[in-house]
Amino acid sequence: MQNSSENKGVKGITQESFPSSKKIYVPGKLHDIKVAMREIHLSDTKDRQGNVLKNDPVTVYDTSGPYTDNDIEVDIEKGLPRLRESWIEARGDVQKLDGLSSEYGRGRLNDQSLDSIRFAHYNTTPSKAQSGKSVSQYYYAKQGIITPEMEYVAIRENQRIDELKQKYKYKEGCEKFYRIPSTHITPGFVRDEIAAGRAILPANINHPESEPMIIGKNFLVKINANIGNSPTTSSIDEEVEKAVWAFRWGADTIMDLSTGANIHETREWIIRNSPVPVGTVPLYQALEKVNGNVADLTWEIYKDTLIEQCEQGVDYFTIHAGLLWEHIPHTIHRTTGIVSRGGSIMAKWILIHHQENFLYTHFEDICDILAAYDVAVSLGDGLRPGSQSDANDKSQLGELKALGELTQIARKKHVQAIIEGPGHVPMHLVKDNMELQQKYCDDAPFYTLGPLVTDISPGYDHISSAIGGAMIAAYGTAMLCYVTQKEHLGLPDKNDVKEGVITYKLAAHAADLAKGFPGAQYRDDAMSKARFEFRWKDQFSLALDSEKAMQFHDETLPDEGYKSTHFCSMCGENFCSMRASMEVRELAEKADQKKREFAQKGNEIYL
């Protein structure tokens, strides 16, 4: 296995399959679709008698897109294949526009000085719902329609587990975690969950490159990675590579939080090359347009930004529409005030203008825009607690109630909605957050940032937040926004992004196990079997981070021969419990054999 970080394809983009893995495509039954998955091939088990036993390959959920398919060479100048384009067209409810609808978008397009950095196959003719038509997955689901997108996620979530003998039964725990229904995930089930508003399938009609995925408590827990929040200029290749890097390691969605110059063009490059849904906080760009002067923000500028981004293909927007004037006085005596960027901007705007939050007053208008492109709304928690001391306080819970109100408006307008959550919360208050969110927001999916379970761990906040994240996900949170080890301190680099993504994959997977997700334990069991049988290479292949697992192993035992030895450097040869345990097994089996022989001869049992 080569170090993928050193193995770059065209223009410095990481393109390499995972070790011992092959991209496979599972066909649909209702629709002409092919669902991408990763199949990990394992070596044979050789027992002490010299028998060779095959190990079935392990199929896992794969967010990495075509970049890890050895048969595909991605050219980021052309963008990814437009997987969903024919599905969207076949529904006959969208229109190709003559040009861009946003003033800002047109301005950028007509600016010849930007030609050199512009994506060549620019989406100059975006699509939009035909007048009077609804084009959201939520609307289709309400009509009883199973779209190709819905069948795709049904197959994807099952990870071919229905083809395998399903021996991974849920062990009843005394802990009251959320437990997913015992039904298999079928296309009909997917549709029903979306129709109930309990799950969303973010799928902007202008982002046909995305591979459908679903966010809801009855599905695998998803994770989001934030990228592009660099105030320094970086080349477009670097920005695309950051995105590719994030979903390579497991990001189910990415949020582009770029600020600075050329974010319009950079975003285009990212979306055209992203197989996962892309989220943004449009307020950031709107604020850039008024040179950072909060007082100058207007609904018109914000609206134009929404349309600009809808037509580029952003799949979901964080919108801080629930932070109301009446909540602000409650924040004054908080330990850490308002820690959400969007939240602090809107609070400032409200107080400067002595007017209610324009995102709230214009929320119906916002929904009308989003619905025309099937952009989902992620209702931002501008008042999330930024410290243990502020957790579950009046401001936070007041805003959460307002988000519940807005959820109903979004649904009325056929806009898919999820709710953002904290933040910093001590462990004993985590469950409350989940229960109140489900209650106030009528079962809409919860999307939390951690939460961090202590404030005193700068440098380790990916861990502090993974503890809270695993717990809140086990209680039913549908998606976790990762936190990197640089949180509270500085800008994450590529390594921090990877560490953060893997840490969150781990937390999400732990929650899948706790929720009794069918087949979740399948990969753990394959890993543990490989571990017990000293199949080191299989352990690396099955690991969330194969590179690091191998690197750590090789630090003390680098020779290739040590990858087939029956011990590692941790305990050494003579103190290897696994090795001794294998001998115990043999001894016990022999004893068992003797016992049977004795029993046949009428003698007493001695094991």
Residue ranges at the known binding site: 226, 255, 284, 320, 340-342, 381-384, 420, 424, 447, 488, 568, 571, 576
Under the binding rule (CB under 8 A), the answer on residue 320 touching its own copies is no
Under the binding rule (CB under 8 A), the answer on residue 509 touching its own copies is yes
Alpha helices in 297-378 (DSSP H): 299-312, 341-353, 358-361, 363-371
Under the binding rule (CB under 8 A), the answer on residue 589 touching its own copies is yes
Helix or strand holding residue 254 (H, E): strand 253-256
Under the binding rule (CB under 8 A), the answer on residue 332 touching its own copies is yes
Under the binding rule (CB under 8 A), the answer on residue 368 touching its own copies is no
Member of 514, 518, 534, 538 binding its own copies (CB under 8 A):
514
* Whole-number Å distance between alpha carbons of 26 and 568: 38
Member of 103, 532, 564, 597 binding its own copies (CB under 8 A):
532
For the annotated binding site for Zn(2+), the residues are 424, 488
* Whole-number Å distance between alpha carbons of 149 and 188: 12
Give the angle subtended at the CA of 134 by the CAs of 128 and 139, to the nearest 5°.
Answer: 135
* Whole-number Å distance between alpha carbons of 153 and 138: 14
* Whole-number Å distance between alpha carbons of 228 and 586: 55
Nearest to residue 515, comparing CAs of 248, 221, 80?
Answer: 221
Q: Match 């320094």 to its residue by tokens.
A: 232
Q: Which is nearer to its own copies, 97 or 436 (CB)?
A: 436
The sign of the CA dihedral 282, 283, 284, 289 is: positive
Subset of 256-295 contacting its own copies (CB under 8 A): 259, 284, 287, 292, 294
Under the binding rule (CB under 8 A), the answer on residue 548 touching its own copies is yes
Under the binding rule (CB under 8 A), the answer on residue 312 touching its own copies is no
Under the binding rule (CB under 8 A), the answer on residue 340 touching its own copies is yes
Least Cβ distance, residue 287 to its own copies (angstroms): 8
Under the binding rule (CB under 8 A), the answer on residue 1 touching its own copies is no
Under the binding rule (CB under 8 A), the answer on residue 352 touching its own copies is yes
Nearest to residue 549, comparing CAs of 18, 8, 16, 6?
Answer: 18
Contacts of residues 486-494 at CB distance under 8 Å and 24 or more positions apart, as own/partner, are: 487/458, 487/461, 487/462, 488/458, 488/461, 489/458, 489/459, 491/229, 491/230, 494/5, 494/242, 494/245
Radius of gyration (C-alpha) of the chain in whole angstroms: 26
Tokens representing 33 are: 């679709």
Q: Which is nearer to its own copies, 101 or 336 (CB)?
A: 336
Under the binding rule (CB under 8 A), the answer on residue 84 touching its own copies is no
Under the binding rule (CB under 8 A), the answer on residue 12 touching its own copies is no
Least Cβ distance, residue 544 to its own copies (angstroms): 5
Binding mask 220-259 for its own copies (x = CB under 8 A): ---------x-x---------------------------x
With contacts defined by CB under 8 A, name the span among 123-131, 139-147, 233-241, 486-494 that binds its own copies. 486-494
Subset of 178-207 contacting its own copies (CB under 8 A): none
With contacts defined by CB under 8 A, name the span among 2-10, 88-96, 197-205, 430-438 that binds its own copies. 430-438
Q: Which is nearer to its own copies, 150 or 223 (CB)?
A: 223
For the annotated binding site for substrate, the residues are 226, 255, 284, 320, 340-342, 381-384, 420, 447
Subset of 381-400 contacting its own copies (CB under 8 A): 386-392
Note whether 504 and 223 are within 8 A (CB): yes
Q: Which is nearer to its own copies, 129 or 281 (CB)?
A: 281
* Whole-number Å distance between alpha carbons of 133 and 69: 37
- The DSSP-derived string for 164-194 is S----PPPP-SS------SS---HHHHHHHH
* Whole-number Å distance between alpha carbons of 455 and 603: 66
Q: Which is nearer to its own copies, 18 or 87 (CB)?
A: 18
Member of 581, 593, 597, 599 binding its own copies (CB under 8 A):
581
Helix, strand, or coil (residue 514): helix
